[in-house]
Structure 1
Amino acid sequence: MAGRLTRRTKVTRFAPDGTSTVREDALAVEEPLEIRVGGTSLSVTMRSPGDDFDLVAGFLVSEGVIWSADQLVSMRFCAGTDDNGLQTFNVIDAELSADTPPLDVSLERHVYTSSSCGICGTASIDAVHKAAHFGHLDDASSWTGELLGSLPDRLREGQKVFDRTGGVHAAGLFDASGALLCLREDVGRHNAVDKVVGWALREGRLPLTGTVLQVSGRASFELVQKAHMAGIPVLAAVSAPSSLAVEHAESAGMTLLGFSRDGGFNAYAGPHRIC
């Protein structure tokens, strides 16, 4: 896995005294992935190769297309080659069950989605609530501040690709005891979350009641939205949330933590779950 996610390159390192040395460095690989449903192109996203089926499954959950494992009949890599005629594995076609609601044509973006962009084009919190199959999150689970404060370090311990490149985000799903259920890394923070959600869908775990999603970056609106769509009651981020992220978390019944580092954190929404 790490071999596909990283690539070696030569760099020239300049020191403060003006001297320079040439050495090898590891880069995080970034490639496009086209997501199709029933042969119809839905989106193109820039991502780290690997766990691509999880990424597609999680993307479909985040967009409100599916919410149960039995709705996702199959996924397959489609023909796609590079300039040398080699298979790129950069196109995936998903087949949905016959009883899955028809795909909303407004979701067909046919646009490029960068690795820093999640649900570009979602106009309002109300639009997300309408698509959220699990509705308002009334999960009554609670966590100690000590446990929640320990999650960033537990996430960091599992960031193997970050150790090599320093260039990827991470998302980790933890249960009520603090056990790590799933960790994914990606150049896009929204992709890392989609890969975790997709893993959970394929394992038949949705909705993800009684869990915490710890992410390595900031808590943007799209990350709160993705957690909401998967039924995750608690989202914690090592950096700051946005104003819209806080508003969405409050209206969705979620607990949102920011600046989760060094054993402490700020609770921006849902402090009632912290004991």
Structure 2
Amino acid sequence: MPVTAINQLPVIKVNASGSTEALDKLAAEEPLEIRLEFGDEQHRQTRNVSVTMRTPGNDAELALGFLFTEGIICDADEVENIAHCFAACDEDRQNVIQVALKPGVQPNLQNTGRNFYTTSSCGVCGKSSIHAIRTVSAFGSALPDHNSATAEILNGLPAILSRHQDIFDDTGGLHASALFTNQGELRLLREDVGRHNALDKLIGVALDQDLLPLNQHILLLSGRTSFELVQKAVMVGITIIAAIGAPSTLAVQLADEFNVTLIGFLRDGRFNIYTSAHRVKI
């Protein structure tokens, strides 16, 4: 059975007129095991790196983005091949993907000494400490800081996002991460049942298209902003993060530490600026 991003299930819809039986579209959620193959040509080894709950689709981008934002690989050029693996199961679903590194490339596995399980609601669960996810950006403060956006452009981003969220329109159950220019032009968009998965997919395709660093762009998140989402954004040089929902306290602290402009509650023509307000032209 092929994996799909949308499933139809029988439901009972209840309203003031009574109840009816119908089929409802729901966003699919299934586990994806990410395996890493590395070593020289004569001594290849495979390690299970992570199991994450995700919306099926764009699995290669998810795996690539995950490995980069975790600091396991430094560049897409280190990857030789990404492919689904056969795994025996009753429904023959493609829920195992293997990333093969080029011979001689040594991944950084210091923070992945064990297999860890992450869920769609929290990509940080199970980490041994905050230090394990405070990875160092490959770009850091060396990038020029000329990014800015007007309040008018920021206020217009949610409507653009809504028009392009295809799976969300059908299911109402997905998060999205979108990359805009600082003039409000949509560059990339990815959806997933998990916030961190959607961003990993977005970063994966940006990395594959050689768009990094992203210091002249705006990242728009459809939900709330967590610590991990800010950490991933910092890894690719993003300096403006806007979200429809609220940030967490740790997200604000991390954004402030890395001089990232963090915006929350971006809806209905209003928003809050939590850090580095100098990039917003009001």
TM normalised by structure 2 equals 0.89
In 2: Cα distance, 1:89 partner to 1:223 partner: 26
- The runs of at least 4 aligned residues of structure 1 exceeding 4 Å deviation read 98-101, 126-130
Q: Count residues in correspondence.
A: 269
Equivalent position to 1:134, from 136, 139, 149: 139
* Map of 1:189 onto structure 2: 195
In 2: Cα distance, 1:203 partner to 1:33 partner: 23
Range with greater deviation from structure 2 (96-105 or 4-13): 96-105
Equivalent position to 1:111, from 111, 116, 124: 116
* Contact 2:177 2:198 (8 Å CA) reproduced: yes
* Map of 1:69 onto structure 2: 76
Equivalent position to 1:176, from 174, 182, 188: 182
RMSD of equivalent CA atoms: 1.9
Letter in 2 for 1:73: E
**Cα separation, partners in 2 of 1:54 and 1:205, compared to 1, 3 Å:** same
Equivalent position to 2:229, from 215, 223, 227: 223
* Map of 1:166 onto structure 2: 172
* Map of 1:5 onto structure 2: 5
* Pair 1:233-2:232 in alignment: no
Q: CA deviation at 1:234?
A: 1.0
**Cα separation, partners in 2 of 1:122 and 1:61, compared to 1, 3 Å:** farther
**Cα separation, partners in 2 of 1:4 and 1:102, compared to 1, 3 Å:** closer
In 1: Cα distance, 2:81 partner to 2:245 partner: 36
Equivalent position to 1:269, from 256, 260, 275: 275
- Report % sequence identity: 46
Equivalent position to 1:40, from 30, 47, 52: 47
Letter in 2 for 1:171: S
TM normalised by structure 1 equals 0.91
**Alignment partner of 1:4: what SS?**
coil
**Cα separation, partners in 2 of 1:269 and 1:122, compared to 1, 3 Å:** farther
Letter in 2 for 1:79: F
**Cα separation, partners in 2 of 1:104 and 1:239, compared to 1, 3 Å:** same
Letter in 2 for 1:223: L
Q: CA deviation at 1:130?
A: 4.6
